[in-house]
């Protein structure tokens, strides 16, 4: 029997109850049936626009938000409280994820402090070790978060996550709050830590070039579903799902003039009441008959899976990329 993957997420659904209105609340369908797995030492990237459920997915993996249906398994068995420390998270904004009143050594060893059974001296020693491993200086452990720059604070957050020797880190937009020159430092740190410690990463980001650089596999999310998944370069260099194409066309690039971008005007549908059929149908340039039926994530070419009947039905014949339309060809295209 093959080894079960380090982390597997199976048919995960997350719904939030929002209490508003006179007639009771409505449900926000944040994650709608997501399955994927992460192998030991692997990085899986999750990309998508804001509101697509990528952050909720990351929090559900950690147990920071309750799941409505589905399962999250660690090495084949249900993730229980005792083994949650195998999973740690790095948040986007190190300004708000570090308690301003605690010295750095306390921040870094907070997980150990909660676990208990360590002397102050042991904790300071361990904090110093971890601080050095993320590129801080030993004397930094006596300082407070406000004395550090954004990049250094993110290093502190990384050291804290490493304190309990996790197997997997969820990186939720780890460099979005940082300047590009500092972003490179943090990316390099994450890559070298992964190599040293055989860490697995779930990298949640809207930055396609960052995901392309770091991830082995990538999943593209739209309205709480994975619409396309596969090896990073396959998906990002030759996208098959119409949404992936739309998303990638919109990414600003040095070698493409603005006028060749054809964004589909319109916005993410509401996740209060989910659309019927294909979730992307309303905005899809190649919508046709069959799209009114719910779509399944089915294997396409190679190791890739796509949630689009147009792609998976004609698996071997590549769907031609839709020709870019000029943005201003017809003002009536806009959906208010």
Partner 1 sequence: MTEPSGDVLLEISDLSLEFRTYRGPIKALNGVSLNVRAGEIVGIVGESGCGKSVTMMAATRLLPKGSAHITGGGIRLFGNDPMTLSERELQHVRGRLVSTIFQEPMNALNPTRRIGEQIVEVIRRHQRLDKAAATSKASGLLRDMLISEPERIMQAYPFELSGGMRQRVLIAMAFSCEPKLIIADEPTTALDVTVQALILGLIKHKAMSTGTAVVFISHDMAVVSQLCDRLYVLYAGRVAEAGTTESVLAAPAHPYTRALIRCLPGLAPPKQPLEQIPGTLPDLLDPPAGCLFRARCREANDRCVSVPPLAAMEPARRAACWRRIEETQAA
Token pair of 205 as six digits: 């980001």
Q: Does 153 bind partner 1 (CB under 8 A)?
A: no
Q: Does 214 bind partner 1 (CB under 8 A)?
A: yes
- Complex with partner 1: residue 102 or 184, whichever CB lies closer: 184
Secondary structure string (H, E, C) spanning 52-115:
CCHHHHHHHHHCCCCCCEEEEEECCEECCHHHHHHEEEECCCHHHHCCCCCCHHHHHCHHHHHH
Choose the stretch contacting partner 1; rule: CB under 8 A; options: 12-20, 290-298, 301-309, 324-332: 324-332
Q: Of residues 76-115, which lie at the interface with partner 1 (CB under 8 A)?
A: none
Q: Does 286 bind partner 1 (CB under 8 A)?
A: no
**Is the CB of residue 135 less than 8 Å from the CB of residue 189?**
yes
The CB-of-334 to partner 1 minimum distance in angstroms stands at: 4
Q: Does 257 bind partner 1 (CB under 8 A)?
A: yes
Token pair of 271 as six digits: 């996740």
Element (H, E) at 46: strand 43-47
- Binding string, residues 216-255; x marks residues near partner 1 by CB under 8 A: ----------------xx------------xx-xxxxxx-
- Complex with partner 1: residue 207 or 228, whichever CB lies closer: 207
Residue selected from 99, 139, 165, 179 as contacting partner 1 according to rule CB under 8 A: 179
d(CA 120, CA 113): 9
Spatial CA neighbour of 81 closest among 101, 63, 93, 60: 63
- Complex with partner 1: residue 149 or 286, whichever CB lies closer: 149
Choose the stretch contacting partner 1; rule: CB under 8 A; options: 31-39, 64-72, 125-133, 256-264: 256-264
Cα dihedral value 287, 292, 294, 296, nearest 10: -30
The CB-of-247 to partner 1 minimum distance in angstroms stands at: 6
**Is the CB of residue 306 less than 8 Å from the CB of residue 218?**
no
**Which residues are CB-contacts of 115 (< 8 A; sequence separation ≥ 6)?**
85, 164
**Which residues are CB-contacts of 268 (< 8 A; sequence separation ≥ 6)?**
49, 51, 52, 223
Q: Does 18 bind partner 1 (CB under 8 A)?
A: no
Q: Does 26 bind partner 1 (CB under 8 A)?
A: no
Where along the sequence are the contacts to partner 1 (CB under 8 A)? Answer: 49-50, 149, 151, 179-185, 187-188, 191-192, 206-210, 212-214, 232-233, 246-247, 249-254, 256-259, 261, 263-265, 267, 327-328, 331-336
């Amino acid at each position: 029997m093959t080894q079960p993957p380090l982390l597997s997420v199976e048919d995960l659904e997350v719904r939030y109850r929002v209490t508003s209105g006179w007639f009771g609340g409505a449900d926000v369908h944040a994650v709608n049936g997501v399955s994927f797995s992460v192998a030991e030492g692997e990085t899986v990237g999750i990309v998508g626009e804001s509101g697509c459920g990528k952050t909720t997915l990351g929090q559900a993996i950690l147990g920071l938000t309750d799941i409505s249906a589905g399962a999250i398994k660690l090495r084949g068995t249900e993730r229980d409280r005792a083994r949650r420390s195998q999973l740690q998270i790095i948040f986007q904004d190190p300004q708000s994820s570090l308690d301003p009143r605690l010295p750095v050594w306390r921040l870094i060893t907070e997980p150990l402090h909660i676990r208990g059974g360590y002397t102050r001296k042991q904790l300071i020693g361990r904090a110093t070790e971890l601080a050095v491993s993320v590129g801080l200086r030993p004397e930094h452990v006596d300082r407070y978060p406000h004395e550090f720059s954004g990049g250094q604070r993110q290093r502190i957050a990384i050291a804290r996550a490493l304190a309990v020797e996790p197997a997997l880190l969820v990186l939720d937009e780890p460099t979005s709050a940082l300047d590009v020159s500092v972003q490179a430092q943090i990316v390099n740190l994450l890559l070298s830590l992964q190599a040293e410690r055989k860490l697995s990463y779930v990298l949640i980001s809207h930055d396609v070039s960052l995901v392309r650089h770091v991830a082995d596999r990538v999943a593209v999310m739209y309205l709480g579903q994975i619409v396309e998944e596969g090896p990073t370069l396959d998906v990002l260099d030759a996208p098959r799902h119409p949404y992936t194409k739309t998303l990638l066309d919109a990414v600003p690039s040095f070698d493409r003039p603005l006028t060749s971008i054809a964004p589909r005007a319109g916005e993410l549908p509401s996740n209060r009441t989910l659309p019927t059929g294909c979730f992307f149908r309303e905005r899809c340039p190649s919508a046709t008959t069959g799209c009114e039926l719910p779509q399944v994530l089915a294997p396409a070419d190679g190791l890739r899976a796509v949630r689009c009947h147009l792609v998976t039905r004609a698996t071997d014949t590549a769907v031609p990329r839709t020709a870019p339309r000029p943005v201003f060809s017809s003002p009536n295209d806009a959906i208010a």
